[in-house]
């Protein structure tokens, strides 16, 4: 089966979050399962393409594309995904992709990703390659379904091509003033655009994808249900419920060749289910690296992630000072994001220098060290389509404290004192009291060594491998093709 896979970030070349991990891993595992999968992604100034086989594709050089009056030139480079035979095609258009960050607030953001959508289709045309499915991801590639029904409808190459749009995060829409539709090439197709948005003078990439993709998926079963409600739908709930027969939830896998304490090369001391006591060495190592005092009996709580509202940072702000005051533990936070959250983290660190460490920025190696060196992993998200860090944490025996939402609800089993079953600590309502209760419950359970080991053993034996999860995508692809 031929799958065109379009994504704005692909690990290990470009990454701001979980979308990159999923794109890279799914590409690799589908390739291993005999799929002809071709990944299309932009070549940003920030992309790291140090693979040996990175090279220009000779018949895809000096191509052009016109958006109304603006003509853009681009060329295509290729490389395989490391350790895999899956090809990635990079769209090199410096005018659009050499900016100070991967995503911007620039006025032409819609062209930056408009090009990704159209170039993906045109690259397949140049290759004379007829994909069974084009798998789109998030708003940045959500226009492909509509393009195939309009501008590229004439091309028989796509006669049997179906589209799948995976919603990794319904909170980001790609919402622009209506005028952009002329540049994007939809002037003759206005009646096909969402009527409500058109009347509001807006054009929404993600909503357009939700309307026109043949199939929709999201990254956990709970999130698939949640996004059909006003609380989580970010205004798309009506359209998503209308299309719910075409919406499925598939929890993300984890690439255990990257995230496994038994083989992880970033951490001080490898360990596994039978050598959990070696975690302490990783804790000592982590604290030493951060120039923090190390206390054998004190738990370390880790947090890694984008510092945005989605991740529940407001709840941390509400209660952390008090939790630190009333309990004995250290907190290590790695993340970057909104300025007021970063300011808060710096302040918390300044007031509690022995107890709190904040690293602002992106640091993959430190992310691994925090997973290995922490005892507890905190993820109190307001919403979480899937979440990867809590799944990594399970494998590292780093017990997650999470809110029961989206993928967190589907991957962490609440610990029950009576039955002694569970893999983490879970709170229900999005409020500070809930977070405080769950974190303190985890901190007090940590003192019961035997109970803690038992939770760690259950956590570490959970299996969210892509070998397993990829089968769900294969099943979905087959279903889409059979739908005709």
Question: What is the contact surface with ligand ADP in residues (CB under 6 A)?
Answer: 17-19, 21, 304-306, 334-336, 362-364, 367, 386-389
| Min dist. Cβ of residue 387 to ligand GLC (A) | 4
Q: Which is nearer to ligand GLC, 38 or 168 (CB)?
A: 168
| Min dist. Cβ of residue 384 to ligand GLC (A) | 5
| Min dist. Cβ of residue 259 to ligand ADP (A) | 8
| Min dist. Cβ of residue 21 to ligand ADP (A) | 5
Start-end of H helices in 248-403: 279-289, 313-326, 339-351, 364-373, 389-395
Closest CA to 257 of 11, 456, 86: 11
Start-end of H helices in 237-296: 237-242, 279-289
Residue 117 touches which member of ligand GLC, ligand ADP, none, C-beta under 5-8 Å by kind: none
Number of helical (H) and strand (E) elements in the chain, helices listed first = 18, 18
Calculate Rg over the CA atoms of the chain: 23
Q: Which is nearer to ligand ADP, 66 or 104 (CB)?
A: 104
The full length of the chain comes to 484
Q: Which is nearer to ligand ADP, 365 or 461 (CB)?
A: 365
Start-end of H helices in 299-361: 313-326, 339-351
Q: Name residues whose C-beta falls within 8 Å of residue 249's C-beta, 6 or more positions apart in sequence.
A: 217, 218, 219, 220, 221, 222, 223, 224, 225
Residue 86 touches which member of ligand ADP, ligand GLC, none, C-beta under 5-8 Å by kind: none
Closest CA to 480 of 172, 250, 232: 250
Note whether 162 and 476 are within 8 A (CB): no
Residue 6 touches which member of ligand ADP, ligand GLC, none, C-beta under 5-8 Å by kind: none
Q: Which is nearer to ligand ADP, 21 or 108 (CB)?
A: 21
Q: How far apart are the first and last CA of the chain?
A: 14
| Min dist. Cβ of residue 342 to ligand ADP (A) | 11
| Min dist. Cβ of residue 136 to ligand ADP (A) | 17
| Min dist. Cβ of residue 320 to ligand GLC (A) | 22
Q: How far apart are CA 361 and CA 52, in angstroms?
A: 28
Residue 219 touches which member of ligand GLC, ligand ADP, none, C-beta under 5-8 Å by kind: ligand GLC
Q: Which is nearer to ligand GLC, 4 or 385 (CB)?
A: 385
Closest CA to 437 of 447, 426, 446, 448: 426
Q: Which residues pair with 238 in a beta bridge?
A: none
3-state DSSP assignment of residue 191: helix
Q: Which is nearer to ligand GLC, 11 or 452 (CB)?
A: 11
Give me the residue whose beta carbon is nearest to ligand GLC. Answer: 18
Q: What angle do CA 83, 88, 93 make, to 5 degrees?
A: 140
Give me the residue whose beta carbon is nearest to ligand ADP. Answer: 18
Q: Which is nearer to ligand GLC, 22 or 133 (CB)?
A: 22
| Min dist. Cβ of residue 264 to ligand ADP (A) | 13
Interface residues with ligand GLC (CB under 6 A)? 17-19, 22, 168-169, 219, 252, 384-388, 407
Q: DSSP assignment, residue 65?
A: E
Q: Which is nearer to ligand GLC, 86 or 169 (CB)?
A: 169
């Amino acid at each position: 089966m031929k799958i065109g896979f379009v994504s704005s970030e692909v690990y290990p070349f470009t990454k701001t979050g979980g979308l990159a991990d999923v794109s890279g891993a799914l590409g690799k595992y589908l390739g291993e399962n005999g799929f002809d999968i071709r990944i299309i992604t932009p070549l940003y100034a920030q992309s790291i393409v140090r693979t040996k086989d990175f090279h220009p594709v000779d018949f895809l050089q000096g191509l052009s594309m016109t958006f109304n009056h603006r003509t853009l030139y681009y060329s295509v480079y290729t490389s395989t995904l490391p350790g895999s035979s899956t090809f990635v095609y990079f769209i090199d258009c410096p005018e659009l992709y050499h900016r100070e960050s991967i995503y911007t607030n620039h006025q032409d953001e819609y062209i930056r990703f408009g090009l990704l959508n159209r170039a993906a289709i045109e690259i397949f045309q140049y290759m004379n390659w007829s994909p069974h499915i084009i798998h789109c991801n998030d708003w940045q590639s959500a226009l492909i379904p509509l393009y195939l029904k309009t501008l590229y409808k004439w091309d028989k190459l796509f006669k049997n091509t179906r589209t799948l749009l995976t919603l990794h995060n319904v909170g980001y829409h790609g919402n622009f003033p209506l005028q952009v539709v002329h540049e994007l090439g939809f002037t003759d197709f206005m009646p096909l655009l969402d009527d409500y948005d058109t009347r509001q003078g807006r054009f929404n990439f993600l909503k357009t994808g939700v309307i026109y993709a043949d199939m929709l998926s999201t990254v956990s079963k709970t999130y698939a249900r949640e996004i059909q409600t006003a609380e989580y739908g970010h205004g798309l709930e009506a359209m998503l419920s209308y299309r719910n027969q075409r919406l499925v939830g598939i929890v993300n896998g984890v690439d255990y060749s990257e995230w496994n304490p038994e083989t992880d090369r970033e951490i001080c001391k490898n360990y596994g289910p039978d050598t959990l006591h070696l975690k302490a060495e990783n804790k000592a190592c982590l604290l030493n690296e951060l120039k923090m005092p190390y206390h054998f009996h004190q738990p370390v709580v880790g947090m890694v992630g984008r510092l945005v509202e989605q991740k529940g940072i407001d709840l941390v702000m509400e209660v952390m000072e008090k939790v630190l005051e009333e309990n004995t533990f250290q907190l290590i936070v790695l993340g970057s994001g909104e300025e007021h959250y970063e300011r808060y983290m710096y302040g918390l660190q300044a007031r509690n220098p022995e107890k709190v460490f904040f690293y602002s920025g992106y640091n993959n190696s430190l992310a691994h060290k925090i997973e290995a060196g922490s005892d507890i992993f905190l993820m109190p998200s307001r919403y979480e389509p899937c979440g990867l860090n809590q799944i990594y944490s399970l494998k590292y025996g780093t017990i997650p404290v999470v809110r029961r939402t989206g993928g967190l609800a589907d991957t962490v089993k609440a610990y029950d004192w009576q039955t002694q079953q569970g893999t983490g600590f879970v709170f229900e309502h999005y409020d500070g009291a809930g977070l405080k209760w769950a974190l303190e419950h985890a901190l007090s359970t940590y003192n019961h060594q035997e109970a803690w080991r038992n939770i760690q053993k259950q956590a570490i034996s959970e299996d969210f491998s892509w070998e397993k999860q990829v089968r769900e995508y294969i099943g979905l692809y087959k279903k889409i093709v059979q739908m005709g």
